[in-house]
Amino acid sequence: MTKTVLITGATGAIGKAIAGRIAENHEYRTVLIARNKLKAAQIADQLIDRTGNKHISCLIADLSRKHEIQSIADNWRDPVHMLINVAGTTPRQRLETPEGIEMQWATNVLGYFWMIRYFLPYLKKGTPSRIVNVASYWAGNLDLNDPEFTSRRYDNNTAYRQSKQADRMLTVAFAERLKKENITVNACHPGDVHSNLSHDLGFGGHETPEQGAATPVWLATSPELEGVTGKYFEHLHETGCQFSHDHDSIEQLYEMCNSY
Ligand SMILES: NC(=O)c1ccc[n+]([C@@H]2O[C@H](COP(=O)([O-])OP(=O)(O)OC[C@H]3O[C@@H](n4cnc5c(N)ncnc54)[C@H](OP(=O)(O)O)[C@@H]3O)[C@@H](O)[C@H]2O)c1
């Protein structure tokens, strides 16, 4: 049976490597979700040429904008077996979406939240299905009173770290909610890979994109992960997550995201 895998951020370093690894398996239909139509189409063509898998397509949406995610989901019909949230950004200046939401909060946190929320009906059709949230070990400083840096001074490193903490906390929130639906939700650190994002954070990255893809792909596809949910992984190993214990804050974060 062909399984459908949705991958965001597939025009970036790690997302493209994830898409490549997934597409190598011809039992998977790979869907690249990207904001840049031309870039996405070129990558899809390259992957089709390289893997011989013809079941590679693109959906175009700016993942910092709720209505664009809602619109691609509204036009979708089929079961989804895996959703891999990868898209991320870390602009050096504080930017806002056209809706007035701080850009990292919108893309890195709400983008993941909205992808899960709007594709949930299709993940339910594809059960047992899996959600993988690419987060980071570089995480912390979440301020639930000022997630958009309206009173704190913005710096992209702090905003990035809080967004990745939030991704890890939302993983726990969704895992608890979706357990009874037979949908697992796990988070990971992919590895340190040179990319536009790492450049904007000021580091080079010593791992290849393929090394960065290994943990997310394993979480999405490996039979040994069946039924495992709400966990955080680094380099193919479950790692304790310091952000997974404070259930009040996790619920507060979930409700806050739900209110956007
Ligand atoms: N690189 C690392 O060392 C590292 C370490 C830990 C965690 N991570 C995580 O890994 C993930 C991928 O990072 P990367 O290093 O591969 O970064 P990257 O090469 O800069 O890729 C980022 C991807 O996100 C997409 N994106 C950004 N904003 C978007 C938006 N509004 N709508 C749709 N797509 C958007 C980009 O699309 P465009 O091509 O259109 O810009 C690109 O495909 C991120 O979640 C990051 O936090 C990376």
Enumerate domains of the chain plus CATH numbers.
3-258 (3.40.50.720)
Phi first, then psi, for residue 59 (nearest 5°) are: -125, 135
CA of 230 to the centre of ligand 1 (A): 22
How far is residue 41 from each of residues 6, 10, 72, 197, measured CA to CA in Å?
Answer: 15, 11, 16, 21
d(Cα 187, Cα 172) in Å, to the nearest integer? 9
Q: What pLDDT is recorded for position 154? A: 98
Question: Which residues are bridge partners to 231 per DSSP?
Answer: none
Is 74 a residue whose pLDDT tops 90?
Answer: yes
Ligand 1 proximity of 126 Cβ (cutoff 6 Å)? no
From 160, 232, 254, 260, active-site residue: 160
Q: Give the closest residue (by CA) to ligand 1 atom 22.
A: 12
Query: Residue 94: what are its φ and ψ, rounded to 5°?
Result: -70, 115
pTM beyond cutoff 0.75: yes
Q: Residue 25 class from Cβ within 10 Å (0-12 exposed, 13-18 middle, 19+ buried)?
A: middle
**Tokens encoding 223:** 């039979």
Cβ of 197 closer than 6 Å to ligand 1, yes or no, is yes
Nearest CA to ligand 1 atom 44: 88
Among 85, 89, 219, name the best residue to mutate to test ligand 1's pocket (greatest count of ligand atoms within 8 A of Cβ).
Answer: 89
CA 112/CA 44 separation, integer angstroms: 22
Q: Determine whether the shortest distance from the Cβ of 150 to ligand 1 is under 6 A.
A: no
Tell me the two tokens of residue 199: 């450049």
Residue nearest to atom 35 of ligand 1 (CA): 87
Q: What's the sign of the alpha-carbon dihedral 81, 14, 20, 35?
A: positive
Quote the ligand 1 centre to 30 CA distance (angstroms): 18
In this structure, what token pair is assigned to residue 189?
A: 């650190």
- Confidence bin at 235 (pLDDT 50/70/90): very high
254 is catalytic: no
Q: Who's near 255: CB < 8 A, 6+ residues apart?
A: none
Q: Is the CB of 12 under 6 A from ligand 1?
A: yes
- How does residue 115 score in pLDDT terms, banded at 50, 70 and 90? very high
Question: Residue 196: its pLDDT value, please?
Answer: 97
123, 80 Cβ separation under 8 angstroms: yes
**Is residue 89 over pLDDT 90?**
yes
Question: How close is the Cα of 195 to the center of ligand 1, in Å?
Answer: 8
* Helix, strand or coil, per DSSP, at residue 110: helix
Q: Please state, in angstroms and rounded to a whole number, the distance separating the CA atoms of residues 85 and 27.
A: 20
Tell me: pLDDT of 131 over 80.
yes
Residue 199 CB contacts under 8 Å (≥ 6 apart), including other chains = none
Selection from 147, 138, 145 nearest residue 242 by Cα? 138
For 180-225, the pLDDT digits (tens) are 999 999 999 999 999 999 999 999 899 999 999 999 999 999 999 9
Residue 37: its pLDDT value, please? 98
Please say if the pLDDT value at position 1 is more than 90: no
